[in-house]
A and B are shown apart, each in its own frame.
Chain A
C-alpha cells in the first residue's frame, strides 16, 4: 500500500533524525546535538504524561475521588514529602517517606534474593545427573562455580590452593565474558540493521511516490 504524503513527511523527519544521530560517528556536530536534545525532551514529555494517566490518575485520583478509598491519602502525603528533597532547610522531611520506601523494598528483597540467587542456584549446581557426559559437565560446572567464587573471595591472599582455585576461576569467568561478547555483537548489529532497513524502505517509498 502506497504511503500518504503526511506519512512520508513524518518518515522523512525520522530519517533526518536517524542520519543526524549517525553523523556523530564522524564527529560531534550541531545536527547530532539537535537530535539528541529533541529526543530527551520528547521522551521526558511522553513519560510525564504516561505517568500522569497510568500512574497518578489510575492510582491516586481514581481510588480517592471515585472509589472513596481515603486511606490512599497516607501514601500520597508520604509521596509529597519526597518533594522536600529540593529544599535545603526542609530536605530532612523527605527521609520519612524514603524510610518507608527503602524499608519495605529492602524487606521484600532479602528473603527472595536468598531464594533466587543463593538457594536455587546452589540447588541447580548440585542436582544429580546420570550418564557419562552429563556427569562430566556436572563436575566441570561445580568446579567452575566454586573456583569462580574463590576468585571473588578477597579476605585472604590468593596463594596456595586458593590461588590455584582463583586462577581456574578467572579463566572460567573469561570464557563467560567471551560468550557474552559473542552474543553482544549480534545484539548491537541487530539495532543497526533495523535502522538501515528503515532508511532503505523510506527511500524506496519516496521513489515510488515521486516517480
Chain B
C-alpha cells in the first residue's frame, strides 16, 4: 500500500520505524551539544538507604554486592560510585562481592579508583572477594562464613590473612548488604540473605526491575531501594555530587518527551482511524 490515497492517520500510523530511531538519535544528541540542568526530587526509598549508611559509625562494615554486568552499567555504576564515596568518606569498612559473571573486572576498576581517591587500601579498609558462580548458594554460604565460598579474595590472597576480614566472618558482622543488581540476584539476596539470616538488605536495581520491589519495601524485607538511573541521580544529589546519573538526566528528559509525544500522536491517529472506520460502517 503506497502513500498516495492514504488518509493522514493511516500515513501517521504506518511510519517506517527507522524514522522513529532517527528521531530518538537526534533527541539524545541534543543535550550532548547543549546540556541543561534538571531538578531531581528525593524519594523516601532512596533517602532510607542514604540515611542508614550515614548513621553508621566509623569502622562499621557494609557489604556492597556489585551484582551487575556491562549491560546494566549505565544505571548501576553511578549508584556504586556514590555509595562507595559515602562509605569511604565515613571510614566504613567494606566487603565487596561481584556475583555476576561479567561484573568482577568492572567492580575491581570502580572500587580501586574510588578507594584511591579516599586514600583507602585493599585488605586494610576493604576486601574485594570477587566472583563465584551460583549466586543463591554463594549468598547462603557467606551467611555461614565468608571463607566457605571465598577462601581467597579476587587477587588470590587467603581471606584469613586479610587484616580487614579478621573480625568479619558472616552477615552477623556486617551492618547491611547493599546489592546493586541487574538480574534476579536481587531476589536471591532477599530470599537467601534477609529471610535466612535476617541481614538488612537494600537494593539498587535497573528501571526495568524497580517497580517489582515495592512489595518487599512495604513488607520491610528491604530497607531501601534505588530505582534505576533516577534513584542514582537522587543519591548523587543527597551526596551533593554531580555524577554520571545527574549528567545523564537531561538526556532522559529529551528522550521521555519524545516518547510521550509519540504516544499521544500515535493515539490521536489511532482514534481518528477508528472513528473514520466506524463512520464508514
Complex CA gap A87/B12 in Å reads: 57
Question: Does chain A have a CB within 8 A of B252?
Answer: yes
Complex CA gap A56/B152 in Å reads: 12
Known: A50-B104, A50-B131. A191 touches B75 (CB 8 A): yes
Q: From B245, which residue of chain A is reached at the shortest CB distance?
A: A190
User: Besides the contacts A187-B206, A192-B251, A196-B29, what 15 more A-B pairs have beta carbons closer than 8 Å?
Assistant: A54-B104, A63-B151, A109-B136, A112-B196, A116-B190, A124-B215, A179-B211, A180-B212, A185-B207, A186-B256, A187-B210, A189-B255, A190-B75, A191-B71, A193-B251
Structural contact, B229 and A186, CB atoms closer than 8 A:
yes
Return B134 CB to nearest CB of chain A, in Å.
8
Complex CA gap A153/B156 in Å reads: 52
- CB-CB under 8 A from B207, the residues of chain A are 183-188, 190
Spot the interface stretch: B36-44, B46-54, B168-176, B218-226.
B218-226
Which A residues lie at the B interface, using CB under 8 A? 25-26, 43, 46-47, 50-51, 53-55, 58-59, 62-63, 105, 108-109, 112-113, 115-117, 120-121, 123-125, 127, 141, 176, 179-180, 183-194, 196-197, 200
Complex CA gap A127/B154 in Å reads: 43
Number of A-B pairs, beta carbon distance below 8 Å:
134
Known: A183-B207, A189-B256. A116 touches B191 (CB 8 A): yes
Complex CA gap A108/B191 in Å reads: 10
Structural contact, A180 and B211, CB atoms closer than 8 A:
yes
Complex CA gap A47/B102 in Å reads: 7
Complex CA gap A60/B152 in Å reads: 12
Overall SS of chain B's interface? helix
- CB-CB under 8 A from B255, the residues of chain A are 185, 189, 192-193
Overall SS of chain A's interface? helix
Structural contact, A46 and B102, CB atoms closer than 8 A:
yes
Structural contact, A190 and B208, CB atoms closer than 8 A:
no
Q: From B260, which residue of chain A is reached at the shortest CB distance?
A: A185
Chain B, range 232-281, C-beta contacts under 8 Å to A: 244-245, 247-248, 251-252, 255-256, 259
Return B170 CB to nearest CB of chain A, in Å.
17
Q: From B207, which residue of chain A is reached at the shortest CB distance?
A: A187
Known: A50-B101, A115-B195. A62 touches B210 (CB 8 A): no
Q: From A53, which residue of chain B is reached at the shortest CB distance?
A: B156
Return B55 CB to nearest CB of chain A, in Å.
24
**Other-chain residue from B73, B152, B154, B251 in contact with A189 (beta carbon distance below 8 A):** B251
Complex CA gap A179/B251 in Å reads: 20
- CB-CB under 8 A from A121, the residues of chain B are 215, 219
